[in-house]
Structures are given as C-alpha cells and as structure tokens.
Structure 1
Amino acid sequence: MNTIAVNSSYLLMCLNMLLCYALLGEQLEGLSMEKKLTGTQLGAFTVGKLIGDGGMGSVYLATHPERSDPLAIKVLLPQYAEDSEFRARFIREGQVLSELSHPNIIPVYFFGEDRGLLYFVMRYVSGKSLYELLLSRRFTPIAAWQILKPVAEALDYAHERSIIHRDIKPANILIEVQRVDGKLHNQVFLADFGLSKVLTWTALTTTGVSVGTPQYMSPEQVMDYPLTPASDVYSLAVVVYEMLLGRLPFYAKKPDQLAFRHIDTPPPAPSALHPEFPKPLEAVLLRALLKEPERRYQRAGDFAQAYAEAARQVGRERCAMQYYVGEPRHIR
C-alpha cells in the first residue's frame, strides 16, 4: 500500500491539535447567538433575519439602499477581528476573492469591518444545501453528475486563478431552483470561497491546525502539506462517494482517528459495499481518492470528464439506478 510518509510524533501533535480545534468549534458554536445583529447597520448594509449560525459566525439576510437583489451577510465571531494580521489579510484576500465571477460560485460583493466585526456580503441563495438533500433523498449516478459537473467547473475556474477552496463538503454546495425560459432549473452554487484561504492561514499561525472538515479533508491537508487542485479533487470525490452510496468512505469516533483514516486506510471499494455498483464508476472514484495527490486527477474537470465517460460506458439504465447502502450499522 502506498501512503504519504510521515513523522509519527509530528503527526500525533497535529492530530491532537485538530481534535482540540474541533472541540473548540463546538464550544463556540452558540456564542454568536448571544448578540443578535438584526436591525443594526454594518457599513452601508442593514442586517436582517438570522438564517444560519455556526462555529465561525452567523449568516443574516441583508439589504442595501442601492440594491434590490437578495443579499446575505456573514459576520465572523469577534475574536477574529482582534488579530490585526488576520484582519489585514482578511481584507486583502477579500479583494481578490470578490473578483471571482462564475455562475456556479456564490458571488461575494464586499468584505469589510465595522465596530470590531469582520463581515462579507454575498448573493443570497434561496435553496437547500447538498447536506440537507442527503438527509432526505438518494442519488443515482445521473443525479450525482448534476452536482459534480457544475462544482467541478467552479473549482477549475478558481484553480486557474491559484485559489484552492480547502473545504469542499455538502454543506458548502447549494442548490437553488430557478426558472429559465419558462422551465424550472436547478442552479448549483459552491459557497465559502471567501473564508477558506484566510481561515487556513490564521489557524496555522495560531494553532498549527489546518482548517477543513475531517470527513472530507485530503491526506495532505491533514498533514499540513502544500495543497494543490488535486486536494479539492479528493474532497469532491468524497462528496460524490457519499452521494452515490449514502455513506462516507471513513468513519471514526474522534476527529484525529478520522484523520488517520484519510492518511493510511484505503477507502472501501463501492462494489464491496454494493455488489452491483458499476466497476467503471468505481475506478474513477478510487483514483480520485488516492492518497498521493500526484496520482489523482489533477483537475476537477478531469475527474468530471472521467466520470462522464465511465457513465457512458455503464449505460443510462444502470446510471438511473440507486446504489445506496447507508451508514454502517454501528454509526446509526
């Protein structure tokens, strides 16, 4: 088995820190609820209803006197603004990220600071996340393709501009039903480009821990090795694996144990979980999930193209079938 060579003591230190960081995030999750901003002003924006809350901050609806389109404003927890270097980097990176313009990337219109709070303003998407959809529905290979293709296109666009997302996961993939030429159409958006790079930097400089979600992190991200587009490809492959099978490649009770799985444990072959799972699609998934980034698809578009070619080889009838197995029994 080929794995990334590691220094065991360094790895243990990193993984212990990862666990501490995850626990800290859980403790902070409710803090932003204590101070509601609804009805106040942040810069030129009026903060509206709270629509989301988490460990990094809160998301509200927002309005601007010169705009009629729906807006959302994400306000980071106050401690982020207390670090002057982080604050400067937040604004600097925000200026770059706000220039991203792609139909499958939620546009970020403005980054700013007001009264000790860092925030950014983006397009409001009135739809569900892939995370929510996975709780209530099962995906065929055809349905998974309808998510994979636009996300891969968004990633290629960002990667061509030297931007790595670093946190591809179902919660950061949003689907909005739109009407186009009189017909309903599912528009897929990739979210949170605005936080990935700058939060990674501040975590590494203050705790030595990579930002990301352990279930979806590439081996090199766990190890704090340099990231490449292939790192996002790995995370996207975990998402596709989950869509097709209704379960993740790896499970563990603790974040550090889960991180070890990404580094040294091969993912279960889909056909070992569901005997009828198409072998061509399995080969594509397992290549995208290889431990060594140089052996994976180097572009998200290459992954999507290989998936499409495998699907054509399998045929429409089998691609319209479900291969759901669900989470392992001990996890349920």
Structure 2
Amino acid sequence: MSSPNASVSLPLQNETGICPKCGSASRVGRSLCLNCLLSAGIDTNGDGTQAEETLDDLLGKIDGPDTDWHLGNYQILEEIGRGGMGVIYRARQRHSRRVVALKRILSCHADSRETLMRFRREAQAAANLDHPNILPIYEVSESEGLPFFSMKFAGGGSLLEAAPMLRRDPRRAVALMAKVARAVQYAHVQGILHRDLKPGNILLDGGGEPLVSDFGLAKWLQPNSDLTRTPSIFGTPGYIAPEQVNGSNGNLTPAADVYGLGAVLFHLLTGRPPFTGEHALKVIQQASEKPAPKLRSVAPALDRDLETICAKCLEHEPQARYRSAGDLAEDLERWLHGHSIVARPVSPPVRLWRWSRRNPIVAGMAALLLALATVVGVMTWKAETAARPPRSGIAILPFESLSPEKENAFFADGVYDGVLTKLAKVANLKVISHNSVAKYRGARDTKEIGRALNVTYVLKGSVRRE
C-alpha cells in the first residue's frame, strides 16, 4: 500500500467519459478516474517501488456476498459489453475467486444455427492458441441451454478507446502493433486466420499489453477442419481485405489478416480507418475499387517509412502485401530501432499496371487512344518528310590562303569570288551566297555544313601564290 504522502499522477477524465490511460469509465466526481486512483494507491509502495499485489489481485481476494445471479461456476458482477451476438460480463470464479470476463450468447440467438456456430468457433479457435498477446480462454461451458466461455479479464479497454492517445504517440502505437502482428503470425502458424482484426478486437490488459480477441470469424487454413465452413458474415467494413468483400472467403490467405493489421495501424496513426463513408456499403465499395489513401495525405507529420509500411499492408493485390504477419512485425521493429525497413514504395510503372488491372475498361480505352495518337503522329511526320524538298545545290567555303604574305589573302578572296560567279551562272544549280557560308570559314566537318545549309555538295579550297 502507498503511504499517505506518496505522490501519484492521476489522469483527468476526457469528454467521452473514458480514461485515456486505462480505458475505465469509472470516476470520482467529474474528473478523476477511479480505477487509476485505486491502482496508484495500491500498486506502489510509499518509496515508489512496485507493490507485490496489484488492484486486480486484491479484487480477486474480496470475499463479498454472492449476488443472486450465477452462470455455472461464475458469479456475475456487472455487464461490460454487448454486441449483436453476445453479451460480456465481468465475473468471479466462485472457488478460485479469480476475476474473469465471461461471454454468453444472447437468448434471442438460441435457435440460430449460424450464430451458435460462430460462437463455438470463437471459443474453439482461441482455446487452441497459447500466446502472451492472445486473450486466453479458461473454460467453455453451457448454462440454461446457452453456451458461454470465460476468458482473461482485460482491464485496460481496447485499442479503439486508446486510439486518441496513441495518435499522439506513434512509437507506442507501432510497438503495440508489432506485438499484435507477432500474435497473429503465431495464429497463422497454428493454422488459424482471424479475419476480423479491428481496434475494438484488440484489448489491453492492466499493464498495457495488447491481447488479440474475438475469433468469431476465425477460419482454419486446413481444408478438412470444421471451421472451414464459415458463415456469410465477412468482417467489419473499413478493416477487411478486398478479397473478403469479393466473395473469396474460401481462398483467403494470411494476406487478409496482414491487410487488417495495416488498417488498424492506419487508424491508430491517423485517427480513422483507411476508408470511410456514410454507410457500410459505401465503405465496402471504396475498398473494392480504390487504392488505400497514403498515410501522410491524412497525417503529413508522420514518418515516410511508416507510410510505406502501411501502403504495403493495404495493397489491393494480396501477393503485393507482406508475405506474412511476421514480416510486418520485423519491419515495424526495424523502424522502432532506427534501422532501414525492407518495404519500398511502389514505382510508377508498377502502380500504373495495377491500376490497369483494376480498371480494365478505362485502361483499354486509354491504350486505344494512345495507339491512335501514335499512328496519327507517324502519318504526320511522314507527310512532312515527303513534302520537304530534297537537298540540292552547292556551298563554296571561303578559300584558304597558303602564302605567308598577308596581301596574298586578298588574292585568295579574288579567286573565291571568281569561282562563285562562274558557278552561279550554271543553270539549275543552287549556289549558297557568300554571306551564308562566311561563318563556316576554317570549319572541317563538311557533312555537318551540308546538313545545316541543306545542300548536296560543299566545296573547300586553298590558294598559294608563287
């Protein structure tokens, strides 16, 4: 226990009523988080060292009177969550006094074979996994004809509740997602796809460690498993891979979960999923038809390497993403340690090729227009070439005087003028004027001079007076 003089730091309640530190909705007055207040008083000693017992340990030891409602061997304490399929309670196991989370199917779904299958799928999938970052299942049972299972109680809320705080701390968000990716990789190695990764399904324990939960849509990779026969429910729009939307559930690979991990990371870093819309169908349509937005187009201050990592996870084509969740975890860890990441931005030609595969009609029309423009360009060039008159005529370069006397240069110019006058009298012979060729005096490359003056012949000469 802490001494009365111990100094503790307590977070103020945010506008939504959820504590940004622990995710609890309990509070004292209108500002202090009750869970943090009790934890600060119990979890540390007066000298600032960590106490041997935590708040969760002490709650588990409380031997209060049983309430009137029990489910099997569990005393129901309070309801902490409810969804379309089931309800979750905080409960205490009566003999061990351990506080757990207990999930029970809603009575209105008791006759739904599909919902019962999904509920049992979640319990079966999670019970086969033993990883520090996967929410463990303690017991699967049934009461009053309704199945339920108990699991570890995660008192820190979920990533959905922690997202506003994590957006201000990208390194913390990346560190959490690296651990989540490791857990998902472990599930894949065990032959299980999650298929519904989203911030609300990743919980935080009392120490802030992530726990992957809700395997209700899990699918065994082995074709002979009972979990291969999955219901028509396909996940949460905004976080599921395009191939899940397009009816490819039977052919899903671990790349589908890599997409989900990238979508969750995108949300934590920007405060929103990659695709948003007025309703679920709009979100699904965008994810199917458009490439995911660039991370830095939403949050320009973020690091470019994080944008590259998210972009690789959110590639439309499964084979273009990280080969495994483990590869993603390694790149996130490289970024955390300041090392170069493996992922690289997609080059413009590859991006154009992928766009053409997604939009074959538009790409075909563009290719047709390009081909037509090329043909018109070639025809125009040929017409201009045919209309251009062939080169003809002669250019006479100023004669060079080889005599050492300077006055002999005038003699060379006189000979040059005489030759020029004689040739100008030849019928049908074009002779380039003296002014046009004067600048080429002393030039050596007669072919280049001929092309420049558009003549067939170039005459060079020298004069020596004896």
Determine if the TM-score, normalized by the shorter chain, exceeds 0.5: yes
Deviations 1:72-101 (A, max 9, x none): 111112243314576467547734531321
Deviations 1:32-67 (A, max 9, x none): xxxxxx742322222221111222221111222332
Instruction: Report the Cα offset of residue 169 of structure 1.
Output: 0.8
Deviations 1:247-283 (A, max 9, x none): 2211111111100111111111123334443222212
| Secondary structure of the corresponding residue to residue 329 of structure 2 | helix
Contact 2:167 2:173 in 1 (8 A): no
**Structure 2 match to 1:223:** 246
- Indicate yes or no: 2:221 matched with 1:196: no
Instruction: Report the Cα offset of residue 113 of structure 1.
Output: 2.3
- Indicate yes or no: 2:106 matched with 1:60: no
Q: Structure 2 counterpart of 1:297, which letter?
A: Y
- Indicate yes or no: 2:307 matched with 1:282: yes
Larger Rg: 2
Which has the larger displacement, 265-274 or 230-239? 265-274
Contact 2:103 2:150 in 1 (8 A): yes
- Indicate yes or no: 2:149 matched with 1:112: no
Q: Distance in 2 between matches of 1:85 and 1:57?
A: 13
Equivalent residue pairs, number = 266
**Structure 2 match to 1:30:** none
Q: Structure 2 counterpart of 1:218, which letter?
A: A
Which has the larger displacement, 153-162 or 79-88? 79-88
Report percent identity of matched pairs.
35
| Secondary structure of the corresponding residue to residue 119 of structure 1 | strand
Q: Structure 2 counterpart of 1:187, which letter?
A: E
**Structure 2 match to 1:264:** 289
**Structure 1 match to 2:237:** 214
Contact 1:278 1:314 in 2 (8 A): no
Contact 1:113 1:119 in 2 (8 A): yes
Give the 3 Å change call, closer, same or farther, for CA 248–237 of structure 1 in structure 2: same
Q: Distance in 2 between matches of 1:173 and 1:301?
A: 17
Q: Distance in 2 between matches of 1:66 and 1:123?
A: 16
Instruction: Report the Cα offset of residue 309 of structure 1.
Output: 2.8
Contact 1:215 1:248 in 2 (8 A): yes
- Which segments of 5 or more consecutive residues in structure 1 lack a partner in the other structure? 1-37, 179-185, 316-332
Matching residue within 171, 185, 188 for 1:159: 188
**Structure 2 match to 1:123:** 152
Deviations 1:153-197 (A, max 9, x none): 11011111111111111111122233xxxxxxx32111112x223
**Structure 2 match to 1:309:** 334
Q: Distance in 2 between matches of 1:202 and 1:56?
A: 20
Q: Structure 1 counterpart of 2:332, which letter?
A: Y
- Indicate yes or no: 2:193 matched with 1:168: no
Deviations 1:199-226 (A, max 9, x none): xx79965xxx333111211111112313
| Secondary structure of the corresponding residue to residue 46 of structure 1 | strand
Give the 3 Å change call, closer, same or farther, for CA 255–63 of structure 1 in structure 2: same
Q: Distance in 1 between matches of 2:120 and 2:150?
A: 13
TM-score (norm 2): 0.52
Contact 2:122 2:217 in 1 (8 A): no
TM superposition outliers: structure 1 runs of 4+ over 6 Å? none
User: Between Structure 1 and Structure 2, which shows a larger proportion of strand residues?
Assistant: 1
- Indicate yes or no: 2:267 matched with 1:245: no
Contact 2:136 2:151 in 1 (8 A): yes
| Secondary structure of the corresponding residue to residue 68 of structure 1 | coil
Instruction: Report the Cα offset of residue 144 of structure 1.
Output: 1.6
| Secondary structure of the corresponding residue to residue 155 of structure 1 | helix
Q: Distance in 2 between matches of 1:314 and 1:101?
A: 32
Instruction: Report the Cα offset of residue 107 of structure 1.
Output: 0.5
| Secondary structure of the corresponding residue to residue 155 of structure 2 | coil
Q: Distance in 1 between matches of 2:115 and 2:85?
A: 14
TM-score (norm 1): 0.72
Deviations 1:121-147 (A, max 9, x none): 111111121111124552433112221
Give the 3 Å change call, closer, same or farther, for CA 268–85 of structure 1 in structure 2: closer
Q: Structure 2 counterpart of 1:119, which letter?
A: F
Q: Distance in 2 between matches of 1:126 and 1:77?
A: 23
Q: Structure 2 counterpart of 1:176, which letter?
A: D
Q: Distance in 1 between matches of 2:230 and 2:138?
A: 27
**Structure 2 match to 1:273:** 298
Q: Structure 1 counterpart of 2:218, which letter?
A: K
Instruction: Report the Cα offset of residue 310 of structure 1.
Output: 4.2
Q: Structure 2 counterpart of 1:196, which letter?
A: L
Q: How does 1:37-52 map to 2 (within 5 A)?
A: 39-52=68-81
- Which segments of 5 or more consecutive residues in structure 2 lack a partner in the other structure? 1-66, 220-226, 342-466
Q: Distance in 2 between matches of 1:60 and 1:127?
A: 15
